[in-house]
Amino acid sequence: MSVNKVHCKYHPTATLIEDIKAGDLICPRCGLVVAERVIDFQSEWRSFANDTDSKDMSRVGEVESNLKSETETSITIQQSTNVRHLDEHGNPLYKSRSTLSSSDRTLKTAHSNIRAMGDRINLPKSITDEAMSLFKQVHESKQLRGRNNEAVATSCLFMACRKMKVPRTFKEICAVSNVSKKDIGKIFKKIVHILSTSVGNATGEDFMARFCYQLGIPKLEKIAKEISKKALDDNMVAGRSPVSIAAASIYMALLAMGIKKEKKDIGEVAGVAEGTLNVVYKLMRPHAEKLFPSNITPVVPLNQLPSF
């Protein structure tokens, strides 16, 4: 569609603005979208030369990625001598065929799985790229040969979330894959050993912002974070998972601020059983006055918080 052939019906003389990203033509005066999904028929060029003035340009293609192997996108042109593959003049036709090795197919499948899992739990591209990079390193090490590649890919995604400081719970990762929590845990430990890397332990604070947002109580995030941090620092909840500590801290903050929220709702968001939440809360309850932020006045006296 040509820009010259369309105009705003309310402001015919206005020069339309093109939204390149959306492909729309918009009237600058009233904001009317005059045309949608306009196709740009101009050639797209991309220069690979270091010199910006270079005339050496190539048609754009897929963005280059170091996550792919060297042969993953190779193309082989094979000449056929079969009569059915000859044209009307007897000249051989040519057929292009992508040549992917078994290793390349494994990488490609894993990358697709990681991307799909990341999309389902709204992970940014930087995290899925990190997971893909981890999978490639593990795959090339050949130390997990014979293992379920989906389990390895899922574990790499779990590890990438940890490394990028946006950890996800085992329940969240398991929900988007066909791999059990037990298998993810086992392979995760093997990957840490294979790559000789260290992944910091997740804490209750790491999950707090997301849990509070999902529960609709973002204002309690700081209170719950401080409760969780003090409980860990003073070794009140030794041996308990970060997720259950986060859930119990949120529950204590809700009670102290007089906000009603069912324990089952907290458990569903955090992915912990109601019984587990009760156990951790009972460990923290006797220390409520020490755990609660001193600069905030609770609505309910801390010594009157329920014991279960």
Give CA separation, 294 vs 224, 284, 299, in Å: 13, 16, 13
Assign 113 to helix, strand or coil.
Answer: helix
For the beta carbon of residue 252, count every other beta carbon within 10 angstroms.
Answer: 27
**Banded model confidence at residue 3, pLDDT cuts 50, 70, 90:** very low
Taking 80 as the threshold, does the pLDDT of residue 250 lie above it? Answer: yes
What are the residue ranges spanned by the domains of the chain? 3-35, 71-100, 103-194, 204-304
Predicted local confidence at residue 67, as pLDDT: 54
What is the per-residue pLDDT across 186-221, written as a single tens digit (0 to 9) for each?
999 999 999 988 887 888 888 998 999 999 999 999
Q: What is the pTM of this model?
A: 0.65
Which tokens sit at 123? Answer: 């992970």
Tell me which residue has tokens 């790491």. Answer: 206
Give CA separation, 287 vs 32, 95, 243, 254, 274, in Å: 60, 74, 19, 16, 21
**Banded model confidence at residue 5, pLDDT cuts 50, 70, 90:** low
Are the C-beta atoms of 135 and 110 separated by less than 8 Å? Answer: yes
**Banded model confidence at residue 145, pLDDT cuts 50, 70, 90:** confident
What is the per-residue pLDDT across 39-91, written as a single tens digit (0 to 9) for each?
554 555 555 555 555 555 555 555 555 555 544 444 444 555 555 556 666 66
Question: Taking Cα atoms as reference points, which of 275, 282, 279, 247 lies closest to residue 169?
Answer: 247
Of 59-63, 117-121, 130-134, where does mean pLDDT reach its minimum? 59-63
Do 103-194 and 204-304 fold alike per CATH? yes
Predicted local confidence at residue 147, as pLDDT: 86
Taking 60 as the threshold, does the pLDDT of residue 277 lie above it? Answer: yes
DSSP 8-state symbol, 63: P
Query: Would you say domain 204-304 falls under CATH 3.20.20.140?
Result: no
What is the per-residue pLDDT across 91-115, written as a single tens digit (0 to 9) for each?
665 554 556 678 888 999 999 999 9
Are the C-beta atoms of 120 and 176 separated by less than 8 Å? Answer: yes
> Which amino acid is residue 229, in one-letter code?
K
Pick the CATH number of 103-194 from 1.10.1040.10, 3.40.50.150, 1.10.472.10, 1.10.3470.10: 1.10.472.10
> Which amino acid is residue 123, in one-letter code?
L
Q: Tell me what the mean pLDDT of segment 246-256 comes to.
A: 96
